[in-house]
């Protein structure tokens, strides 16, 4: 059953929804990257919550005009209008009053959503029979979707994705280096507006699939995940698009195949799974690789200090140091150096003495600044320089044998 | 509107609404000033998985396990956000977005997967609560306020919220100076030996306590609105923190009263038969108050455009 869903064999509607979700996921991943790079990820939360009054008002208007109120295009149109109003209010509050953007986001989000709830309760009483499952917009519901609706969603997701891809270059420039973008003559205000327009489009199209509470996850999680794998903007965009598409595709397929699996939460959790894996396993920025780096560093410090202690003939009490020296074959269990260990200890002490000399000589200032107690002196100085320094070593205080 | 109708039907929800609003607005002042306004948003989303897990573990819908579950989830969320922010070197807003959406999604999924059809536990309830259902059946009129027997039948949410309000207010009062100093100049607070990290965490925990105690009666949405709207509106009224807190309490209480009255009686005035969501209406009114102060508040501007006094 799951396999059928993943290979798109669950019927026409489920296939359309799954493909639509995947397209939407890609558009959200790519569009969200620019939001994330601009550090405005949570603006999308305000936009998505602000759709609710629009959906409810659109329903009421359509019923008042004699329609059935459930026309998806009409509902999404209403959502877009009120989301745009919310977005304008957020930017007005944060530019024209002294409120910070987070307070503006939070107030717009909660007030629009609260007003939407009021309208929903009005709808409940106004026409009990035709309530039409507007609650489905809260958490998304793709079960039993009409063919026309599925077509609308798949089509608009495709259009959104195409728009994001078309505007990729100016968006990348503006979000990565706005000052440079301005200096090349780009109108960054307009680019920002376009970015917000795209986010709005993703939110509105995603309402029916993911729901307005969780759509923000589709815009945030893939870019954050992608950031773990690369340091290049264009790669973040690409990976975020792929991850977003993949999470939405897998999530929508699972939801179609299994009972009691609401689409939105599943998509979000699949995306979070990718995030958690990346947080742990990504090379460079991942937790595991950071831990490995840290313990490798720790080992180097312990070995170095252990060798210096051996060279000075001092006893070693630190257990980890002793164990590391033993596994390297540089010391016996009682803490006495092996011949190999003694040679290395003498080398370590000589290097330390060399470092000491260059650190007290202003002529070597640049090289001396690289001193951290671990760096091999051969990687910093040439052989000639080392010989020059060795000639200055005062042999009277020589190494105890 | 006479006492025999008002006291049993409207007094308790109205008072609960006021207590919730003020208990959230008090810590909200500091959250808004510290640019952590969206912490309230995050906390109120993660309350859902908390109560679902508590329900699955105990098998009953009862107050204490759920409060504990919700509080546990709030703490897990705060720790997870901090962990993601530090371990992944991710900006705070994005880290918050990742964690609270994932936890909320997990809560919804758990709820759908488990058999909760027999009990009153659903997403809508967690989102917008049911303020209107807090009816005081034993009351007959104003005199019931002095009647111990009737008082014993008070909905449990009211005393619980009153205690929460007292706890939050005490916290703010006791730590007033450290909170004020560390909010406006964290560097200075550290140099005079304050544990600013601990204080910040305590503030977030206070906010979580207020949110968790409130969600059961009124749902998440009013909690987010009250964390942010009254303090933000108060911020536009004055430059002094003492006055700001005063304004925020007044705005919060005003929003709760007007919102409740509009939701309960407003539709009747314009000819509808049924009332609308009180939680939603209170959030809406708080937004209107913020809107008015944003247009005419004496300290609404920043920088050079702001009045000097």
> Tens digits of per-residue pLDDT, A254-307?
888 887 788 889 999 999 999 999 999 988 888 899 899 999 999 999 999 888
Asked if A109 has any chain B CB less than 8 Å from its own CB, the reply is yes
Stronger pLDDT, B170 or B146, i.e. the higher one: B170
- Predicted confidence at residue B309, as pLDDT, reads 47
Residue B73 near residue A141, CB atoms below 8 Å: no
A65-79, A174-188, B23-37, B135-149: least confidently modelled range: B135-149
- Please give, rounded to a whole number of angstroms, the shortest distance from the CA of B277 to a CA of chain A: 5
Instruction: Label residue B192 exposed, middle or buried (CB < 10 Å: 0-12, 13-18, 19+).
Output: exposed
- Please give, rounded to a whole number of angstroms, the shortest distance from the CA of B109 to a CA of chain A: 6
Residue B184 CB: number of other CB atoms within 10 A? 12
- Predicted confidence at residue B3, as pLDDT, reads 65
A114-123, A304-313, A321-330, B126-135: least confidently modelled range: B126-135
Question: Can you tell me the distance from the alpha carbon of A321 to that of B218, in angstroms, rounded to the nearest whole number?
Answer: 59
Q: Which of residues 111-170 of B touch A (CB under 8 A)?
A: 112-113, 123-124, 127-128
Q: Does B282 sit within 8 Å of A106, measured CB to CB?
A: no
Question: Can you tell me the distance from the alpha carbon of B223 to that of B211, in angstroms, rounded to the nearest whole number?
Answer: 6
Residue A308 near residue A400, CB atoms below 8 Å: no
Asked if B110 has any chain A CB less than 8 Å from its own CB, the reply is no
- Predicted confidence at residue B279, as pLDDT, reads 87
Q: Does B109 sit within 8 Å of A118, measured CB to CB?
A: no
Residue B3 near residue B136, CB atoms below 8 Å: no
Chain A residue numbers with beta carbons less than 8 Å from the beta carbon of B132 are none
Instruction: Label residue A127 exposed, middle or buried (CB < 10 Å: 0-12, 13-18, 19+).
Output: middle
Domains of chain A are 2-259 (1.10.3470.10), 288-397 (no CATH)
- Predicted confidence at residue A297, as pLDDT, reads 92
Chain B residue numbers with beta carbons less than 8 Å from the beta carbon of A293 are none
Nearest to A43 by CA among A109, A117, A130: A109
What is the count of residue pairs from A and B with beta carbons less than 8 Å apart?
A: 212
Residue B78 near residue B41, CB atoms below 8 Å: no
What pLDDT digit, counting tens, does each position of A388-399 carry? Answer: 888 887 665 555
Half-sphere exposure of A100 (CA within 13 A, CB side): 16
Query: What mean pLDDT do residues A86-106 have?
Result: 90
pLDDT at B123 > cutoff 80: no
- Share the mean pLDDT of chain A: 85
Asked if A157 has any chain B CB less than 8 Å from its own CB, the reply is no
Residue A260 near residue B112, CB atoms below 8 Å: yes
- Tally of residues, chain A: 401
- Predicted confidence at residue B32, as pLDDT, reads 92
Query: What mean pLDDT do residues A323-333 have?
Result: 88
Find the residue in B nearest to A98 (Cα).
Answer: B302
- Predicted confidence at residue A108, as pLDDT, reads 94
What pLDDT digit, counting tens, does each position of A265-275 carry? Answer: 999 999 999 99
Q: Does B84 sit within 8 Å of A220, measured CB to CB?
A: no
Q: Does B127 sit within 8 Å of A264, measured CB to CB?
A: no
- Predicted confidence at residue B108, as pLDDT, reads 87
Q: Does B95 sit within 8 Å of A287, measured CB to CB?
A: no
Contacts of A251 (CB under 8 A, 6+ apart): A21, A263, A266, A267, A268, A269, A270, A271
DSSP A235-252: HHHHHHHHHHHHHHHHHH
Q: Which of residues 241-270 of A touch B (CB under 8 A)?
A: 260-262, 264-266, 268-269
Residue A56 near residue A119, CB atoms below 8 Å: yes
Residue among B91, B102, B272 whose CB faces A268 most closely:
B102
Chain B residue numbers with beta carbons less than 8 Å from the beta carbon of A122 are 267, 272, 276
Stronger pLDDT, A7 or B176, i.e. the higher one: B176
Above pLDDT 90, what percent of chain A? 24
Asked if A85 has any chain B CB less than 8 Å from its own CB, the reply is no
- Please give, rounded to a whole number of angstroms, the shortest distance from the CA of A309 to a CA of chain B: 35
- pTM equals 0.85
pLDDT at B305 > cutoff 70: no
- Share the mean pLDDT of chain B: 84
Where do the structural domains in chain B lie, given as residue ranges? 219-302
A166-175, B11-20, B175-184: least confidently modelled range: A166-175
Chain A residue numbers with beta carbons less than 8 Å from the beta carbon of B283 are 110-111, 113-115, 117
Contacts of A351 (CB under 8 A, 6+ apart): A376, A377
Chain B residue numbers with beta carbons less than 8 Å from the beta carbon of A113 are 221, 280, 283
What pLDDT digit, counting tens, does each position of B195-211 carry? Answer: 888 888 888 888 888 88
Residue among A41, A112, A261 whose CB faces B97 most closely:
A41
- Predicted confidence at residue B228, as pLDDT, reads 93
Angle, helix B176-184 to helix B12-33, in steps of 10 degrees: 50
Question: Can you tell me the distance from the alpha carbon of A249 to that of A270, in angstroms, rounded to the nearest whole number?
Answer: 10
Q: Which of residues 313-372 of A touch B (CB under 8 A)?
A: none
Query: What mean pLDDT do residues A110-125 have?
Result: 88
Above pLDDT 90, what percent of chain B? 30
- Please give, rounded to a whole number of angstroms, the shortest distance from the CA of A153 to a CA of chain B: 22
Asked if B261 has any chain A CB less than 8 Å from its own CB, the reply is no
Residue B144's pLDDT band (boundaries 50, 70, 90)?
A: confident
Q: Does A216 sit within 8 Å of B306, measured CB to CB?
A: no
Chain A residue numbers with beta carbons less than 8 Å from the beta carbon of B301 are 96-98
Contacts of B57 (CB under 8 A, 6+ apart): B65, B69
Q: Does B280 sit within 8 Å of A118, measured CB to CB?
A: yes
Chain B residue numbers with beta carbons less than 8 Å from the beta carbon of A116 are 280
- Predicted confidence at residue A158, as pLDDT, reads 86
Residue A175 near residue A184, CB atoms below 8 Å: no
Residue among B94, B108, B236 whose CB faces A262 most closely:
B108
- Predicted confidence at residue B19, as pLDDT, reads 93
């Amino acid at each position: 059953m799951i396999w059928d869903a993943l290979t798109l064999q669950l019927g026409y509607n489920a296939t359309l929804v799954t493909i639509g979700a995947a397209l939407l996921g890609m558009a959200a991943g790519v569009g969200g990257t620019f939001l994330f790079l601009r550090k405005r990820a949570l603006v999308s939360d305000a936009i998505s919550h602000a759709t609710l009054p629009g959906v409810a008002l659109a329903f009421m208007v359509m019923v008042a005009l004699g329609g059935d109120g459930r026309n998806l295009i009409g509902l999404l149109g209403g959502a877009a209008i009120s989301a745009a109003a919310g977005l304008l209010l957020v930017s007005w509050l944060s530019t024209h009053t002294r409120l910070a953007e987070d307070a503006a986001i939070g107030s717009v989000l909660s007030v629009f959503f609260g007003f939407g709830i009021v309208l929903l309760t009005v709808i409940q009483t106004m026409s009990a029979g035709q309530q039409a499952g507007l609650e489905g917009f809260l958490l998304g519901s793709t079960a039993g979707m009409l063919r026309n609706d599925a077509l609308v969603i798949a089509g608009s997701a495709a259009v959104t994705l195409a728009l994001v891809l078309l505007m990729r270059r100016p968006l990348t420039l503006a979000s990565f280096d706005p000052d440079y973008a301005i200096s090349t003559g780009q109108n960054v205000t307009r680019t920002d507006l376009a970015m917000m327009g795209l986010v709005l489009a993703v939110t509105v199209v995603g309402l029916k699939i993911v729901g307005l509470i969780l759509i923000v996850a589709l815009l945030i999680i893939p870019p954050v995940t992608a950031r773990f794998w690369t340091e290049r903007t264009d790669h973040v965009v690409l990976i975020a698009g792929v991850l977003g598409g993949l999470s939405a595709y897998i999530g929508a397929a699972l939801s179609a195949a299994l009972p009691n699996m609401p689409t939105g939460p599943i998509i979000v959790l699949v995306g979070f799974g990718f995030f958690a894996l990346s947080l742990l396993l990504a090379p460079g920025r991942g937790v595991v690789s950071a831990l490995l780096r840290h313990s490798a560093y720790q080992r180097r410090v312990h070995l170095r200090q252990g060798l210096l202690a051996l060279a000075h003939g001092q006893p070693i009490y630190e257990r980890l140091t002793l164990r590391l020296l033993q596994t390297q074959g540089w010391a016996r269990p009682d803490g006495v150096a092996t011949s190999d260990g003694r040679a290395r200890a003498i080398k370590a002490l000589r290097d330390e003495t060399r470092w000491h000399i260059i650190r007290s000589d202003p002529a070597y200032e640049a090289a001396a600044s690289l001193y951290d107690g671990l760096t091999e002196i051969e990687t910093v100085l040439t052989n000639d320089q080392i010989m020059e320094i060795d000639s200055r070593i005062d042999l009277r205080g020589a190494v105890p044998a | 509107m006479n006492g025999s109708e008002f006291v049993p039907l409207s007094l308790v929800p109205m008072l609960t609404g006021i207590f919730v609003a003020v208990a959230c607005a008090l810590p909200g002042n500091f959250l808004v000033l510290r640019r952590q306004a969206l912490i309230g948003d995050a906390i109120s989303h993660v309350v859902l998985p908390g109560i679902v897990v508590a329900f699955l573990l105990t098998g009953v819908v009862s107050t204490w396990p759920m409060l504990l579950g919700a509080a546990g989830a709030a703490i897990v969320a705060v720790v997870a956000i901090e962990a993601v922010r530090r371990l992944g070197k991710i900006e705070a807003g994005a880290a918050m977005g990742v964690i609270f959406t994932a936890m909320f999604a997990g809560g919804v999924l758990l709820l759908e997967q488990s058999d909760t059809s027999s009990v009153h536990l659903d997403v809508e309830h967690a989102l917008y609560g049911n303020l209107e259902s807090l009816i005081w059946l034993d009351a007959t009129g104003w005199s019931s306020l002095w009647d111990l027997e009737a008082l014993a039948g008070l909905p449990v949410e009211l005393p619980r919220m009153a205690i929460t309000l007292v706890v939050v207010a005490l916290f703010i009062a006791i730590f007033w100076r450290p909170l004020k100093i560390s909010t406006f100049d964290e560097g200075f607070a550290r140099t005079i030996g304050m544990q600013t990290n601990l204080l910040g965490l305590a503030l977030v925990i206070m906010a979580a306590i207020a949110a968790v105690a409130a969600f059961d009666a009124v749902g998440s949405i009013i909690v987010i609105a009250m964390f942010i709207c009254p303090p933000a509106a108060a911020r536009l009224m004055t430059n002094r923190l003492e006055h700001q807190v005063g304004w925020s309490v007044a705005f919060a209480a005003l929003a709760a009263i007007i919102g409740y009255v509009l939701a309960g009686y407003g539709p009747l005035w314009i000819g509808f038969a049924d009332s609308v969501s009180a939680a939603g209406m209170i959030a809406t009114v708080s937004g209107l108050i913020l809107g008015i102060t944003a247009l005419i508040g004496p300290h609404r501007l920043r920088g050079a455009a702001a009045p000097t006094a």
